[in-house]
Amino acid sequence: MSSLPSSVSSPVFLVVMGVAGCGKSSLGAAVAQAQALPLIEGDDHHSAASREKMRQGIALADADREGWLATLGQLLQGHPAGAVLTCSALKKAYRERLRAACPGVRFAFLDIDRAPAGERVAARVNTHFFSTTLVDSQFATLESPVGEPGVLRLDALQSIATLQAQVIAWLAPAHQETTP
């Protein structure tokens, strides 16, 4: 019979969110590793049609994201012991879909300005399908989650180690009990 350490009060479900280029994948991987949780890379679950649109510099519409958000919600549900998901979650409606699929999910919001986000997206142009021309649309679509329950705002320009430490401290069971 296995038992959970006394410091674990409930499974951790975390969405690392923000615009393209904010560092979702890097921070998500670091937190997942530190928490010994599976990592769900949201970009891996876009449809081929959506990936092609983004490659061509065409912003996704809400309808393009419907199936993707449903899949991400199902993937979270498929990990009852907890998981870390990387997902832009740009609109409140998208976050509400994830909250409905996985009650108690929390969001680490990597806040970044337009210029550094654009530089980061441009630096990965040969290794990622996302077109640099879409960075502006990401900022236009973003509805800040600051003030929503279960959201931690992070400065995306801090080091991954610093961000990871901030998220781990925020996810600590003692802090979970005091967070709305």
Per-residue pLDDT reduced to its tens digit, 165-175: 999 999 987 45
Q: Which of 5-9, 49-53, 136-140 has the lowest mean pLDDT?
A: 5-9
| Amino acid (1-letter code) at residue 145 | P
What's the chain's length in residues?
180
Q: Please give the full DSSP string across 3-59, using - where no structure is assigned.
A: ---TT--S-EEEEEE-STTS-HHHHHHHHHHHHT--EEEGGGGS-HHHHHHHHTTPP
Residue 1's pLDDT band (cuts 50, 70, 90): very low
> CA 17 to CA 23: how far, in whole Å?
9
b (16+ CB within 10 A) / e for 115-128: eebbebbeeeeeeb
Residue 179's pLDDT band (cuts 50, 70, 90): very low
Question: SS3 for 124?
Answer: coil
Per-residue pLDDT, 67: 86
| Amino acid (1-letter code) at residue 31 | V
Q: Tell me the backbone φ, ψ of residue 108, rounded to 5 degrees.
A: -100, 110
Q: pTM for the whole thing?
A: 0.84
Report DSSP state, residue 72: H
Q: Tell me the backbone φ, ψ of residue 169, rounded to 5 degrees.
A: -60, -40
Angle of helix 48-55 versus helix 62-77 axis, rounded to 10: 130
Q: Is the dihedral of CA 167, 173, 174, 175 positive or negative?
A: positive
> CA 162 to CA 166: how far, in whole Å?
6
> CA 55 to CA 129: how far, in whole Å?
5
Per-residue pLDDT, 99: 97
